[in-house]
């Protein structure tokens, strides 16, 4: 992710500097800084069905609040059940375990949790949450990712149910991009891929890149009542399987708040 107008964002989703609001990649965590031009072009198991959504967070549980955090290294957070930031517009809570960091930047429409470390010390593993209601449908969003020239689809699309919410899932791998040198000053690692397919889901000028070269990516689009939630999961190839097990547990803990 990248936020030059506000500050250089680093890491996982490496974002690019564009005009007045160039957002920098928050590496690794879902996420990173962006190059001034798109890099040259260059999985995982399906989520099992879960219980139906309860409609209300567990009675008697006080929800923790995610602090505001700009790109890109993130802020370590304690294990707790958290309210998804209200600015996202989808009333959900989620259980987060130990060892995670958060990026929470409303002006960029950026909210993600991450862990791990890329070459810029930004998260290399991440789950990004995007409210794409009114911008796309699950079918159209998954199809656009499947067509993205920077990615190679490896599994799917397949129907999934997460925490009782129906949706579609697609696994991909970022194509090799060895000629891209990156930008240390903008927290953009070498060899990563710029993913313009996601640009429309962030604030204008905010762009998105992978956090590591040839990262494995899982895109999930869920229907949450009358809204549409896009989940972007990313990790390095050798970390993806272990990462996805923990990520699945987090996503299956989603509950509606009323």
pLDDT value of position 113? 98
Total Cβ atoms within 10 A of residue 99: 11
Q: Which tens digits make up the pLDDT trace of 129-157?
A: 999 999 999 999 999 999 999 999 999 89
**What is the average pLDDT across 98-113?**
96
Q: Where are the alpha helices (DSSP H) in the chain?
A: 138-147, 240-252
What is the structure's pLDDT at 51? 32
Q: Do residues 233 and 177 make contact, with C-beta atoms less than 8 angstroms apart?
A: no
Residues 6 or more apart whose CB falls under 8 angstroms from that of 164 comprise: 50, 51, 52, 53
Phi, psi for residue 60 in degrees, rounded to 5: 85, -5
Most confident of 37-46, 181-190, 207-216: 207-216
What contacts 120, CB < 8 A, 6 or more positions away?
A: 10, 11, 27, 28, 32, 33, 72, 184, 187, 188, 189
67/258: higher pLDDT: 67
Identify the pLDDT of residue 71: 84
The arithmetic mean of pLDDT across residues 61-70, rounded, is: 93
Q: What's residue 58's pLDDT?
A: 54
pTM for this entry: 0.79
Task: Look over the chain and give the mean of its residue pLDDT values, rounded to a whole number.
Answer: 82
Please state, in angstroms and rounded to a whole number, the distance separating the CA atoms of residues 68 and 79.
17
90-104 pLDDT, tens per residue? 999 999 999 999 999
* CA–centroid distance for 80 within its chain: 20
pLDDT band with cut points at 50, 70 and 90 for residue 40: very low
Distances from the Cα of 140 to the Cα of 1, 49, 70, 166, angstroms = 23, 22, 30, 15
Structural domains in the chain plus CATH codes: 42-174+213-256 (3.40.1000.10)
- Kindly state the average pLDDT of the residues 222-226: 96
């Amino acid at each position: 992710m990248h936020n030059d107008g506000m500050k250089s964002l680093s890491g996982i989703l490496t974002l690019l500097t564009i005009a007045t609001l160039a957002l920098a990649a928050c590496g690794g965590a879902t996420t990173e800084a962006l190059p001034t031009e798109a890099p040259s072009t260059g999985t995982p198991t399906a989520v099992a069905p879960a219980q139906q959504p309860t409609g209300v967070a567990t009675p008697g549980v006080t929800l923790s609040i995610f602090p505001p955090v700009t790109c890109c290294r993130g802020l370590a957070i304690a294990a707790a059940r958290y309210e998804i930031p209200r600015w996202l517009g989808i009333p959900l809570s989620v259980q987060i375990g130990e060892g995670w960091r958060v990026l929470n930047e409303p002006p960029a429409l950026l909210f993600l949790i991450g862990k791990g470390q890329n070459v810029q010390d930004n998260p290399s593993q991440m789950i990004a949450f995007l409210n794409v209601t009114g911008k796309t449908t699950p079918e159209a969003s998954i199809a656009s990712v499947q067509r993205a020239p920077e990615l190679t689809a490896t599994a799917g699309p397949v129907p999934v149910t997460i925490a009782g919410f129906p949706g579609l899932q697609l696994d991909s791998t970022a194509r090799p991009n060895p000629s891209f040198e990156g930008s240390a000053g903008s927290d953009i690692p070498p060899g990563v891929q710029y993913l313009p397919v996601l640009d429309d889901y962030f604030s204008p000028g905010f762009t998105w890149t992978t956090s590591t070269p040839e990262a494995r990516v899982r895109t999930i689009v869920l229907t949450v009542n009358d809204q549409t939630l896009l989940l972007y999961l990313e990790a390095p190839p050798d970390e993806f399987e272990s990462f996805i097990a923990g990520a699945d547990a987090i996503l299956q803990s989603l509950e509606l708040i009323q």
